[in-house]
Amino acid sequence: MSKAPQMTDDRFYLRRGPFSLGEIAELAKVDLAVGAPRDLLIRGIAPLESATADDLSVFCDVRHADAFAATHAGAVVTSARLGERPHNGNWLLTARDPRYAFAVIGLMFYPRCAVEPGVQAGAHVDPSAAVGEGCRIDPGAVIGAHVRLGAHCHIAANAVIGAGVEIGEGSVVAANATISHALLGANVRIGSGTVIGGEGFGVVPGPTGLICSAQLGRVIIGDNVRVGGNCTIDRGAVGDTVIGANTMLDNLVQIAHNVRIGRNCVFAGQAGVAGSVTIGDGVMVGGAVSISDHLVVGSNARIAGKSGVARDIADGETVGGYPAVPIRQWHRQTTSLARLGQKPEA
Amino acid sequence: MSKAPQMTDDRFYLRRGPFSLGEIAELAKVDLAVGAPRDLLIRGIAPLESATADDLSVFCDVRHADAFAATHAGAVVTSARLGERPHNGNWLLTARDPRYAFAVIGLMFYPRCAVEPGVQAGAHVDPSAAVGEGCRIDPGAVIGAHVRLGAHCHIAANAVIGAGVEIGEGSVVAANATISHALLGANVRIGSGTVIGGEGFGVVPGPTGLICSAQLGRVIIGDNVRVGGNCTIDRGAVGDTVIGANTMLDNLVQIAHNVRIGRNCVFAGQAGVAGSVTIGDGVMVGGAVSISDHLVVGSNARIAGKSGVARDIADGETVGGYPAVPIRQWHRQTTSLARLGQKPEA
Amino acid sequence: MSKAPQMTDDRFYLRRGPFSLGEIAELAKVDLAVGAPRDLLIRGIAPLESATADDLSVFCDVRHADAFAATHAGAVVTSARLGERPHNGNWLLTARDPRYAFAVIGLMFYPRCAVEPGVQAGAHVDPSAAVGEGCRIDPGAVIGAHVRLGAHCHIAANAVIGAGVEIGEGSVVAANATISHALLGANVRIGSGTVIGGEGFGVVPGPTGLICSAQLGRVIIGDNVRVGGNCTIDRGAVGDTVIGANTMLDNLVQIAHNVRIGRNCVFAGQAGVAGSVTIGDGVMVGGAVSISDHLVVGSNARIAGKSGVARDIADGETVGGYPAVPIRQWHRQTTSLARLGQKPEA
């Protein structure tokens, strides 16, 4: 079992290319160093440490300066400033945002390619389902009654799509995911094991103990949304849970019923949002953050990792801590607390 | 794709009714306003914002007073006090607990209806399994050897019920859930992706590295328990993990081996309970709470969201914080800390 | 439905034995009390509370002294010191580490036995996959193209093994787990619902909104690794995510892309590690701990439950708190804070 491939592992990835430095520079809109051979062929992408003369790598974080100094990569995408660091004379492609440029180049070599279309043996597709052209349905996938799949969707092995669900064109539902009571846009990607449309948690105390109220809403997911693995997004109680276009969720994220999230938000791993929270556009939520129910988080707010948010957050505000406070206040609190902790007990 | 339905979405919900205001008032034991037309037919349930004259809605939180003032709902369930707020002259049904009354009415319009019984094509049922009458087994579900299912259970698509498991009458196991080494009561509902009966985490350091001790117990789940999506409830090491009747778990909750939980408890999303904790009846555990191993939490205790509990909690005690302390003390700590954080550094 | 078995429940466990006290003492390398009948047959294992004269139990925690005093167990594994506590005259087996000895004895009575080999009806095995001898593939499991399974692996019901994955001999993948883009060693155990090899979370802001960079690496898992239920371990972005041999993960643990973890580490439930963190050998990570991205955690470090780690941790260091600080400092902080909280507000 080879454990240190120089490029990507051919067992898992289908590489396009090669591409010339000139093609790459043009497509990713990066600047090629003066004198660089525009015809030089680049065959793959690799980390600085293992890249060879055929590979392109990236240097976008000063912590990797040593690896940059020693890399054998044929070419390296970096910024003008980082490119001044010592290196082996590799050809540099400079970009204002090297991470973005490298992401674009990565999708050039490894496009999210359409898998071979077709309903595989062992898939269970209800006769009333409408499956768009070019869809791929893997073995063990279950497509319920009246489901509508747009063109070129991929429903992976053992995923379950409940009755009535609609999924837009080009979307991917990974293995063992479960989707019900939901309308998904185009180019949505749902990770393995994720559950969308589960019953919201509406526990009501009654005279003879707790009861769960009926959960009668839906989940509405916009175009280009990305949900990681083993997340849970509950359907609304009355009304909908909404995830805006281009919002990205990492793994193990919990979104409760009737939450409304805007566009271009980022939720890192294990974040959780309680019921009926409203979140604007462009919000960045750190890992393991918890947001209490019925709050409002303004657009472009940022929440530091592991914070516990217990009050509304204004547009553009950055908060941290448990309970979360403005980030500078949190840093001062932390410093003060550390000082208390350093004094030996009297 | 219609995104703003006036009622529930017929693709996902089968609505009963219509019911007259009089029927509703009687069944939900609510008071109908004097002069209200007992024969008025109500066809569905909707949020205040989108309800029409055919719909019944609920107003139980003063934060929605504006929506109440503007709603077109034919009738609204509320409390006597909230009902005094300005509104459009909609017919009011007043209840001591409008949330509970609305939950009861919701289950009247949308009963947890028995799905069509039968073992669907593509289900895998071991010949030694005993499947009660009226059960529904969906495609891809796997029912192991000697499993016993009570009457009218629903095992959804791609769920896996391991050998020897017993599930009581009227229970539902959602898609892609996994149950092993467990005995479940009647009317239990297990969410999608949840894992019940997995091997407890019994790591023991030994002379040649860590080993995992055999985990030889079971999970015992009482009647009417509700478990959300992507939870994990491990079986006991020696002896059982127990969840008492009528206890409700939200999503992504972790219950470790040999935990014993009483009746009528509530665990919000992403809460976690470490091994051998004992929890009484009627305990409310907030979202993302963590409870350390071997502790005792008394009946009717309440634990604020995101707390880290590191000591026993008495009956009826309310705690918060990390580490958790009595809730008033936590609020004072938080206030003091905020004051430290507001002072500019000297 | 019997809820209080005296031993393990025969519906779920196949018990070996009986074994004599002498055999047990020899195999587990424990000391048998002077005068103990080496021929006494022990038939099973049970908790102190329910053990009978045929059973062996364990007493390794002084909190169970009352149960030890009252137990009817035929024999009890304990330490020399705990064995001095009052008891019923049960035969004692004394060990330096009674938990370890009991774990060894548990695996003697209940070995992780090979299930009956064979590809079950309803399994989907790609013709290009190489399935080792003695493997067991359960109904609904999906084995992709060019997968390689070593001898005596068990792929449980509805698990999905993606194209190209390699799994070493004697490994077990539990029901509804999903594995892709990964190479697993021998004797690895993956819990139900766990997702290995999912796309890492590489969100990059671009001129027209967020994009996700291609994730082109793998997950490499060493021998004897144990992963619990509903975990997520993402593949590397460029390069690999690595879990060293003999490391043990509890449930709902999140390991992000390009994390590198050493050998013999322990991660308790709901812990999370952000991208590109490097962790040494023998590290103990408590439940619900969060570790921020790109940090380095030294070997034999220990992190208290629910901590938020935001800086590097040295070899052998013990930390706690949010943000995490040396453990004694955290305890002093906690004490100081509690003092602040006890003062009534002036």
Q: Is the pLDDT of residue B4 over 70?
A: no
A103:C220 CB<8 A: no
Answer yes or no: are the C-beta atoms of A242 and A262 closer than 8 Å.
Answer: no
CATH for C19-109 (3.30.420.10, 3.40.1390.10, 3.90.1170.50, 3.40.228.10): 3.40.1390.10
Segment A87-130, tens digit of pLDDT = 988 999 999 999 999 999 999 999 876 689 999 999 999 999 99
Q: Do B19-109 and B177-330 fold alike per CATH?
A: no
* pLDDT score at C8: 80
Q: Is the pLDDT of residue B2 over 70?
A: no
For the beta carbon of residue B70, count every other beta carbon within 10 angstroms: 12
A158:B156 CB<8 A: no
* pLDDT score at A9: 87
ipTM of the complex as predicted: 0.94
CB distance from A264 to chain C under 8 Å?
yes
3-state DSSP call for residue C319?
Answer: strand
Return the percentage of chain A with pLDDT > 70, whole number.
96
Interface of C with B in 139-158 (CB under 8 A): 139-140, 156-158
Q: What is the mean pLDDT of residues C45-69?
A: 93
Answer yes or no: are the C-beta atoms of B137 and B120 closer than 8 Å.
Answer: yes
Among residues A124, A262, A198, C229, which one has the least CA distance to residue B200?
Answer: C229
* B329 φ/ψ angles, rounded to the nearest 5 degrees: -60, -40
β-pairing verdict for C325-326 and C318-320: antiparallel
For residue B113, the distance in angstroms to the closest alpha carbon of chain C comes to 27
What is the band of C184 on the pLDDT scale with cuts at 50, 70, 90?
very high
* pLDDT score at C207: 86
Which of A33-37, A243-247, B278-282, B314-318 bottoms out in mean pLDDT, i.e. has the lowest? A33-37
3-state DSSP call for residue C110?
Answer: coil
C chain contacts of residue B214, beta-carbon cutoff 8 Å: 103, 106-107, 109-110, 112
* pLDDT score at C186: 98
Report helix angle A327-342 to C327-342, nearest 10: 100
* pLDDT score at B3: 41
Segment A42-91, tens digit of pLDDT = 999 988 998 999 999 999 999 999 999 999 999 999 999 999 999 988 99
Tell me the sheet residues that pair with B93: B32, B77
3-state DSSP: chain A helix, strand, coil percent, rounded to 5? 15, 30, 55
CA distance B259 to B246: 16
Report helix angle C21-28 to C98-109, nearest 10: 120
CA distance B70 to B85: 11
Give the mutation candidate from C211, C241, C252, C327 for the A interface (greatest A CB count, under 10 A): C211
Of A112, A266, A322, the CB nearest to C210: A266
- Report which residue type is found at C41: L
* pLDDT score at B14: 87
Give the dihedral sign, CA A94/A99/A104/A107.
Answer: positive
B chain contacts of residue C8, beta-carbon cutoff 8 Å: 216-217, 238
C chain contacts of residue B230, beta-carbon cutoff 8 Å: 193, 230, 252
* pLDDT score at A14: 87
Answer yes or no: are the C-beta atoms of C308 and A306 closer than 8 Å.
Answer: yes
**What are the tokens at B157?**
């698509």
Among residues A174, A171, A196, A305, which one has the least CA distance to residue A255?
Answer: A196
Give the dihedral sign, CA B71/B76/B79/B84.
Answer: positive
**What are the tokens at A237?**
């109680």
Q: Is the pLDDT of residue B5 over 60?
A: no
For the beta carbon of residue C330, count every other beta carbon within 10 angstroms: 23
Cis peptide before C205 (omega within 30 of 0): no
Provide the residue ranges of all domains of chain A, joining segments of one domain with +. Answer: 19-109, 177-330
CB distance from B81 to chain A under 8 Å?
no
- How far out from the chain centre does Cα A261 lie? 15
Q: What is the mean pLDDT of residues A122-143?
A: 98
Among residues C278, C269, C226, C232, which one has the least CA distance to residue C251?
Answer: C269
B chain contacts of residue A214, beta-carbon cutoff 8 Å: 103, 106-107, 109-110, 112
Q: What is the mean pLDDT of residues C311-335?
A: 96
Among residues A262, A115, A268, A249, which one has the least CA distance to residue A194?
Answer: A249
Segment C261-276, tens digit of pLDDT = 999 999 999 999 999 9
Give the dihedral sign, CA C151/C157/C159/C162.
Answer: positive
CB pairs < 8 Å spanning A and C? 211
CA distance B333 to C89: 51
HSE at residue B122, side-chain half, CA atoms within 13 A, is 24
Segment B192-202, tens digit of pLDDT = 999 999 999 99
Q: Is the pLDDT of residue C346 over 50?
A: no
CB distance from B330 to chain C under 8 Å?
yes
For residue A233, the distance in angstroms to the closest alpha carbon of chain B comes to 9
A198:B228 CB<8 A: yes
CB distance from B109 to chain A under 8 Å?
yes
Comparing alpha-carbon positions, the chain A residue that sits nearest to C306 is A306
CB distance from B205 to chain C under 8 Å?
yes
Answer yes or no: are the C-beta atoms of A129 and A149 closer than 8 Å.
Answer: yes
* pLDDT score at A257: 98
Interface of A with B in 15-74 (CB under 8 A): none
Name the residues of A annotated as catalytic: 257
- The whole-chain average pLDDT of chain B stands at 94
Phi/psi region, residue A22 (left: phi>0; alpha: psi -120 to 50; beta: rest), is alpha
Most confident of B11-25, B223-237, C49-63: B223-237
CA distance C282 to A301: 38
Segment C22-42, tens digit of pLDDT = 999 999 999 998 899 999 999
A269:C274 CB<8 A: yes
Of B181, B210, B272, the CB nearest to C269: B272
A193:C176 CB<8 A: yes
Name the residues of C annotated as catalytic: 257
Helices and strands per DSSP (H, E), number in chain A: 4, 40
Segment A260-310, tens digit of pLDDT = 999 999 999 999 999 999 999 999 999 999 999 999 999 999 999 999 999
- The whole-chain average pLDDT of chain A stands at 94
What's chain A's Rg over C-alpha atoms? 24
Of B218, B220, B330, the CB nearest to C12: B218
A chain contacts of residue C286, beta-carbon cutoff 8 Å: none
For C178-188, b where at least 16 C-beta lie within 10 A, e where not — what string? bbbbbbbbbbb
CA distance B167 to B32: 41
Q: Is the pLDDT of residue C344 over 80?
A: no
What is the band of B7 on the pLDDT scale with cuts at 50, 70, 90?
low
Answer yes or no: are the C-beta atoms of C308 and A289 closer than 8 Å.
Answer: no
Which of B79-93, B106-120, C141-155 bottoms out in mean pLDDT, i.e. has the lowest? B106-120
C chain contacts of residue A100, beta-carbon cutoff 8 Å: 204-206, 211
Report helix angle C327-342 to B327-342, nearest 10: 100
A312 vs B34, residue with greater confidence: A312
* pLDDT score at A1: 36
- Report which residue type is found at B77: V
Angle (CA) A180-A202-B42 rounded to 5° is 80
Q: Is the pLDDT of residue C6 over 70?
A: no
The CATH number given to A177-330 is 2.160.10.10
Q: Residues with Cβ < 8 Å from B322, sequence gap 6 or more?
A: A322, B306, B307, B308, C306, C322
A193:C178 CB<8 A: yes
What is the band of B6 on the pLDDT scale with cuts at 50, 70, 90?
low
